[in-house]
Chains A and B, each alone.
Chain A
Amino acid sequence: MGRAVNSEAGRFKPGDRVTVRREDRAGHIRTPWYIRGKTGRIERVYGAFLNPESLAYGRDGLPKRTLYLVAFSQGDVWERYLGSEDKLLVDIYEHWLDPAT
């Protein structure tokens, strides 16, 4: 699947378990509500991108943020999901992720 987009490494590597921050703040947030607080695994490191939370307000998007593809088991996201191997994959910026405890 696709190329590694750029080579800038971040804090996490593929396979790491991460939990999405459960933050509630205003702004151009690209982390969907339903995934906040959920735990998944880093599937791919996409590299560093300008931060959309800054770009959306006409600012420079710096510092860049590492973007990850994070894979969640559907059963971990929705209580009543049927289909045990199914995955939900979400693109999430590093400042929304913590190491899973």
Chain B
Amino acid sequence: MSDSHDNGQTSQDHGHEHPKHELSFYAKRIYAIRDLLLEKGIITEKDIQCQIEYQEARSPANGAKLVARAWVDAAFKRRLLADPKAACAEMEIDATSINEFVVLENTEKVRHMVVCTLCSCYPRPILGRPPDWYKSFNYRQRAVNDPRAVMREFGLTLPDDVEVRVHDSTADIRYLVLPVRPKGTEGLSETVLATFVTRDSMIGVMDALPSAPPV
């Protein structure tokens, strides 16, 4: 396959649209591989669409549901910490594609933060796709050697007597941070509490929101 497989063809020739702007080398390579897989009948357009829908369906809302339930239900929190995949199944969240899943509980005296310095390991079934900054060299370097400065940039300044524990997820384990429940949220419903739980608070670079975001 040539590196410019659109030459002499229109999108009707092979059934899908391509972006109009100039593609990077890797983007061209991905489209070339996709076209080969389609031409050879190894996968279908429908397979690709289903996979995109599956990827898009996984979002931080899953993690927020787990956290909010753990905040209101102490027994669930114990189960979430003891066996996170079973706790996900209980909430009808599909975590089966994670090899192993560990939940890190933040307290007033301990904050956890997660990075993958080697690539971009991330609990995708629970949080969806990682943000670009999570994959940046800047974050991957500074998360391990200056995590307090990273947290300050996200608006979290911790006193010296709070221990910061950075997890470099280099292997088969995927980590989710269970943030501290914000003060003054007693009596709020699980659904409202879930809106306090940001993606970034489950990566651990910031706390949960101090108040609910405007609707």
Contacts and interface: CB of A to CB of B under 8 A. Distances in A.
Contacts of A92: 170-171
Nearest to B119: A30
Interface residues of A, number: 30
A87 B113 CA distance: 11
A89 B100 contact: no
Given A69-B173, A89-B167, A93-B171, 16 more contacts: A1-B105, A2-B102, A3-B84, A30-B171, A31-B170, A34-B145, A35-B168, A74-B164, A77-B144, A83-B148, A83-B160, A85-B163, A86-B147, A90-B168, A90-B170, A91-B171
B160 A32 contact: no
A47 B173 CA distance: 11
Contacts of A34: 117, 144-145
Interface of B: 81-84, 99-105, 117-118, 144-148, 160-161, 163-173
A89 B81 CA distance: 18
With most chain A CB atoms within 10 A of its CB, the pick from B164, B166, B171, B173 is B171
Given A30-B171, A91-B168, A1 B145 contact: no
A82 B171 CA distance: 27
6 contacts: A1-B105, A30-B118, A32-B168, A86-B163, A87-B164, A89-B168
Contact of B170 (A77, A87, A91): A91
Interface of A: 1-3, 5, 30-32, 34-35, 46, 49, 52, 67, 69, 71, 74, 77-78, 81-83, 85-93
A32 B115 CA distance: 12
Nearest to A32: B117
Contact of A67 (B82, B145, B163, B171): B171
Nearest to A85: B163
Given A3-B82, A34-B117, A67 B172 contact: yes
A12 B144 CA distance: 25
Contact of B100 (A5, A35, A78, A88): A5
A70 to B, nearest CB: 10
Contacts of B170: 30-32, 90-92
